[in-house]
Chains A and B, each alone.
Chain A
Amino acid sequence: MDATLKLWLVIVVVGALNYFSRLSFIAFFARRSVPPLLARALRYVPAAMMTALIVPMLLPGPPTVMPALPTPKMLAALVAFVVAWYTHSTLKTLVAGMIALWLLQALAARIG
């Protein structure tokens, strides 16, 4: 499929379905409450989906070649996690994570 067509198909369909999710209980099911089991399951969407998205970004390559030592990115992510946990601030998390990464990379270059 043509790349441009593919992109716009994704934009329109994902845009429409996301809008449906956003509007769902405000408009379509306004008179209904969320089924209890669905309400429970939905609470795990951010933790599960975002973790699945994050982890591969921290690995140096495909998981078949797992590093023996934690890489600077893994350690910096840990630092960022602690900062995010305590501050709930995107900005502070970003600053702490980037600085941690740069320091660890400099350190790894010196040792390595």
Chain B
Amino acid sequence: MLPACIGLIPFGLVCGVGAAAAGASIWGALGMSAIIFSGAAQIIAAQLLAAGAPVAVIILTCVVMGLRFLMYSAAIAPYLRPLSPRLQQALAFLLTDQAFAAAIRRYDAGAHPREGGLHFLGAGFALWLCWQITNVVGYFTGNLVPAIWSMEFAVPLCFIALIAPHFKNAPQIAAGVLAAVAVVALDGLPMRLNLIAAGIAGIVGGTAIELARDRWTRR
């Protein structure tokens, strides 16, 4: 779990810096990290708040980004079925990109549901705690770093680290390329609606290409 925690440090710092840049108080920043508990959603929320986007647009964009949790939830659910509802509810709260990857790896290696669940609980809580600490540190130290270091570049780098392994087949690459083209082409849309429009274009495009490919190979 330690490597996952270390990997989270820069991302957490960047989220704290983002919250400060968006003008949030320390309590607002902690609210984001403790309750939303999703780096991608926190970055989007901070950016859109700073850009003055309406609440509905911010919520919609964050929630579409959070749809990947549906996928994680479905993938991990069979392993958690024997556990108590209480434990399931706690584990669901701790379900992040990193915790999901670690838990699935453990279950795939043959972990017992209860033993795996308790490990998930411990690791998930450690990640949550690590996330709060790094967010707070980022919040207070962000503006101490000289601008010449271009530390804002750590944000796209964290996302690149998360998604690069996804680009392993044509539909996934197409989804990314479509989203990239769309977000630039639709830059004129108000309230940064280009973000969500491009995301949806990529999701629909990737799915359509996968369906078309399946139909083609079945023939």
Residue pair B67, A42 in contact (C-beta under 8 Å): yes
- Contact present for A45 and B31 (CB under 8 Å): no
The B interface is mostly helix, strand or loop, or mixed, namely helix
By a CB distance below 8 angstroms, the chain A residues around B184 are 55-56, 59, 63
Chain B residue nearest to A49 (CB atoms) is B199
Q: Which residues of A (1-16) have their CB < 8 Å from a CB of B? A: 1, 3-4, 6-15
Q: With A9-B55, A12-B35, A76-B153 as given contacts, are A81 and B164 in contact (CB-CB < 8 Å)?
A: yes
Please determine whether A90 and B161 come into contact, CB atoms closer than 8 angstroms: yes
Q: What is the size, in residues, of chain A's interface with B at 8 Å between Cβ atoms? A: 70
Looking at the complex, which one of B59, B85, B176 makes contact with A48 (CB distance below 8 Å)?
A: B176
Question: Does B138 have its Cβ within 8 Å of any Cβ on chain A?
Answer: no
How many residues on B have C-beta within 8 angstroms of the other chain's C-beta atoms? 97
Interface 1/0 per residue, B17-58 and A, CB below 8 Å: 000001111001001100111101101110001000001001
Residues of B within 8 Å of A8, CB to CB, are 28, 31
Given contacts A22-B73, A80-B161, contact A10 B45 (CB under 8 A): yes
Contact of B11 with A by CB under 8 A? yes
Chain A residues closer than 8 Å to B15, beta-carbon distance: none
Pairwise interchain contact A48-B178, C-beta atoms closer than 8 A: yes
Q: Would you list which residues of chain A between 24 and 74 have a CB under 8 Å from chain B?
A: 24-27, 30, 33-34, 37-59, 62-64, 73
Q: Does B157 contact A (CB under 8 A)?
A: yes
Q: Which of A11, A22, A33, A56 has the most CB of B within 10 A?
A: A22
Contact of A21 among B67, B165, B167, B187 (CB under 8 A): B67
Judge whether B65 is part of the interface by a CB distance below 8 angstroms. Answer: yes
Please state if B65 and A45 are interface contacts (CB–CB under 8 Å).
yes
Whether the Cβ atoms of A7 and B28 lie closer than 8 Å is: yes
A residues with CB within 8 A of B:
1, 3-4, 6-15, 17-19, 21-27, 30, 33-34, 37-59, 62-64, 73, 76-77, 80-81, 84-85, 88-91, 93-94, 97-98, 101-102, 105
